[in-house]
Chain A
């Protein structure tokens, strides 16, 4: 399991760079993870990250697109503008949660 230092904090990640231990996450780590994706975090990003954090704590999974829209009140277009190319997986990574997966 790879270990690296982000914003001065040692973190454990999986092979794709997703944190495996959410207790190692903080806002500075988030900013460093975002920088790896070429993203500078703004209030708009934080609205998404805060929703994922609250929803994961309630449901135990990263919310899907429809849940982001209907429960988080975040339109899909905004998500693509904030996190280009793969908004859910990128937002999940920056918020310190696992990549959304299917059964295989």
Chain B
């Protein structure tokens, strides 16, 4: 009997368990998921909680409902991975041997990495919405909002779901209008990047959204500290942005266990072959989802597409074959723009987001990089798809792991390159 261990029962780990249980005979392979969580969260739903669109019940299910059949579940923290002996060590001394290990431990916000962030104002006037607790606390804070300076802020890249902070601005704009508080609220978006948008085509189309919604942008802002006494964030070159409510995205770090195991980079991301998803250091360790250092978005859609590639490559690995399946960095993301509308993005390592129709060329029904009500309905429907199609590892019709150029309007020079 052989052991396949999956560390992390989030989106990536659960989908992998579903796929592999269908492919690996139970008589040969035991598959076990290890995670400290008692619940599985639909993480894209956190964004909607502060605006009363989703409740806590919409985003959270007990783990026993989401762990696939035929998979063992061990609710535990991991102390470290011993790659010499191929064992995962738990804090209580338990040793879990593996023949193949999949690391799917994701990333988490690390507010303690920024001076002053977890002092005085934390969870009072300084919030984040990338955890269940954070989204709940912010939901409560929004209920007492009377107007003032709302600052939406990214500490450093890369972050999980890079468009979520912009979506937060757009949804806040719409929500504040409904509350009659928009004219009493200044919304400022603060980013360490050179602007709110950095890709040429998307920037050209989306930048006007910021003007139309009266959202001002502070760019190239690298945060040095939060000054809770002054209620301001301060950059390394001593620029200050004052806030009444700061909604920040703290630095995103991989699991500390990765660091303790000597497997990570400066952010505890695991160096990973961006096409095969094999770890660069160990042939029998694979990495998926946010835990990798692959240069694509940290997003559920990426984990979903990666899972198809990784399943094939693990079967190749077991058969002693070359890892033939290749991930292209495909990501597919909705951008909620408020008032029941959304944009849709589809891109990969090489292709920036462009306009067009999706998934059918010329037909759609969804519009790439265009605002539509149907895109929004697609995002809303996705919660059901997540629980009922994605996690059980069922295929989503017409959308493959390899990004398709069909239906995309490419700028002239890229048309030539693609031809």
Residues of A within 8 A of B (CB): 1, 15, 59-61, 64-67, 70-71, 76-77, 79-80, 84-87, 89, 99-104
**16 other A-B residue contacts (CB within 8 Å) besides A100-B157, A104-B206:** A61-B295, A64-B156, A67-B266, A77-B236, A84-B237, A86-B194, A89-B220, A99-B198, A100-B193, A100-B194, A101-B199, A102-B199, A103-B297, A103-B345, A104-B163, A104-B335
Does B251 sit at the interface, judged by CB under 8 A?
yes
Q: How many A-B residue pairs have CB under 8 A?
A: 73
**CA of A33 to CA of B109 in the docked complex: distance in angstroms?**
37
Closest to A70 in B: B266
CB within 8 Å of A: which B57-114 residues: none
Min Cβ gap A92→B in Å is: 10
Q: Check B199 against A65 for contact (C-beta < 8 Å).
A: no
Q: Is the interface of A mostly helix, strand, loop or mixed?
A: loop
Q: Which 3 residue pairs are nearest across A and B when measured between Cβ atoms?
A: A86-B220, A101-B198, A104-B202
A-B contact pairs, 23 of them (CB 8 A): A64-B157, A64-B158, A65-B156, A65-B192, A66-B266, A67-B266, A76-B222, A80-B222, A84-B237, A87-B222, A100-B193, A101-B198, A102-B157, A102-B193, A102-B198, A103-B163, A103-B199, A103-B333, A103-B345, A104-B163, A104-B197, A104-B203, A104-B345
| B9-39 vs A, Cβ < 8 Å mask (1 yes, 0 no) | 0000000000000000000000000000000
Does B200 sit at the interface, judged by CB under 8 A?
yes
Residues of B within 8 A of A (CB): 156-158, 162-163, 166, 192-194, 197-200, 202-203, 206, 219-220, 222, 224, 236-237, 251, 265-267, 293, 295-297, 331, 333, 335, 345, 347, 353, 413
**CA of A89 to CA of B220 in the docked complex: distance in angstroms?**
9
**CA of A66 to CA of B347 in the docked complex: distance in angstroms?**
26
**CA of A100 to CA of B199 in the docked complex: distance in angstroms?**
10
Q: Check A71 against B194 for contact (C-beta < 8 Å).
A: no
Cβ contacts under 8 Å, B266 to chain A: 66-67, 70-71
Cβ contacts under 8 Å, A64 to chain B: 156-158
Closest to B205 in A: A104
Contact status of A85 and B237, CB under 8 A, knowing A103-B331, A104-B202, A104-B353: yes
